[in-house]
Amino acid sequence: MGEIIKVNNLKKSYGKLSAVRGISFHVNSGEVFSLLGPNGAGKTTTVEILEGVRKRTSGVVSVLGQDPERITESFRKRVGILPQDFNFLERCTANEALEFYIGSLDSSLKPDELLKTVELSDKKNVYFSRLSGGQKQKLGIALALSNDPELIFLDEPTAGLDPLSRRSIQEVMRNLRSLGKTIFLTTHYLEEAEKLADRVAIINFGMIVDEGTPEELVQKNKTSDMLVVTVQDGVSLSGVLPSLAREKSKGVYEMPIKSNDDLFLVLDSISKSRIPVNNISLVRENLEDVFMRIVGAEENES
């Protein structure tokens, strides 16, 4: 699998503001790569530099073997873009929008195929203004696909959508990946990156603070797993559980578990005590927990 995007020490300033401060990463062909970070972290700046829409201050950038500041016609044909806050003409139907794009790109695709790919066939003749937020984004993705690109940039495709619409767009992204497309996804939704991305780079204040597969990031940064044991009101587990256990709320005990041996010892001790237990669960940190620790809850926008 080749590297389809290479970025080395990329910087971008707007006047005095350093929005991107020397980031380096690469994207492999065929993967979903997610640039994950809070508002104002520098995601759109980075993605627009890769798309050839914005100029960088310094650094080396290669997309499909080309410098996006000197793009050619062939680059445009191989790249699809869904900009942040995508919008379109209100009194234009989904079909008309696609016909317009397809015509201007000299593409051989048909609106019906594209609508099917994004699961929007039933809205073919509906005005843009009449589409829901999620349907508008789907049309935006269909337009980004109208030149049958191998690389697609999606800048916050699910921002502000309800959970059902978000899920439906995530399904579309999964389909695109299975068609062999490379997807560069920016998002601030942790669970979206965790579900969809092959690799993630976390950006904060214009710097990449960590990078890897979601699983690697969790493994590297997580604290211990927690065993949570719930018993009936009035029943006590003190003496049964190890000294590290604490009663978090009434009847709910929590203790860190570092290894399988740890876990088996605790379970064995509970079992021998014959104390009736309502529930036992092992809680693992996810990407969101880890992210909160790395990035903190504060936003980058001042």
| Residues found near ligand ADP in the complex (CB under 6 A) | 14, 17, 19, 37, 39-45, 301
- Of the pair 46, 135, the CB lying nearest Mg ion is at 46
Helix 287-295 to helix 214-221 angle (10° resolution) is 60
Residue 42: which of Mg ion, ligand ADP, none does it interact with, CB under 5 to 8 A by kind?
A: ligand ADP
Residue 17: which of ligand ADP, Mg ion, none does it interact with, CB under 5 to 8 A by kind?
A: ligand ADP
Other CB atoms within 10 A of residue 14 CB: 10
CA nearest neighbour of 7 among 287, 77, 42: 42
- Of the pair 97, 202, the CB lying nearest ligand ADP is at 202
Residue 68: which of Mg ion, ligand ADP, none does it interact with, CB under 5 to 8 A by kind?
A: none
C-alpha to C-alpha distance for 155 and 81, rounded to whole angstroms: 8
- The DSSP code for 238 is T
Question: Binding pattern to Mg ion, positions 35-54, x when CB under 5 A?
Answer: --------xx----------
Report CA 106 to chain centroid distance, whole Å.
31
**CB of 48 vs Mg ion, minimal distance in Å:** 9
**CB of 15 vs ligand ADP, minimal distance in Å:** 7
Residue nearest Mg ion, CB atom distance:
44
Strand order in the sheet with 246-249: 246-249, 252-257, 225-231, 277-283
Other CB atoms within 10 A of residue 30 CB: 16
- Of the pair 45, 147, the CB lying nearest ligand ADP is at 45
- Of the pair 46, 168, the CB lying nearest ligand ADP is at 46
**CB of 220 vs ligand ADP, minimal distance in Å:** 23
Question: Binding pattern to Mg ion, positions 83-122, x when CB under 5 A?
Answer: -x--------------------------------------
Q: Tokens representing 273?
A: 């005590």
Instruction: Calculate ∠ Cα 264-268-274, nearest 5°.
Output: 150
Residue 165: which of ligand ADP, Mg ion, none does it interact with, CB under 5 to 8 A by kind?
A: none
- Of the pair 43, 78, the CB lying nearest Mg ion is at 43
What single letter denotes the amino acid at residue 87? Answer: N
- Of the pair 282, 292, the CB lying nearest ligand ADP is at 292
What single letter denotes the amino acid at residue 148? Answer: D
Give strand ranges (E) for 139-223. 151-155, 182-187, 199-204, 207-212
- Site residues (vs Mg ion, CB under 5 A): 43-44, 84
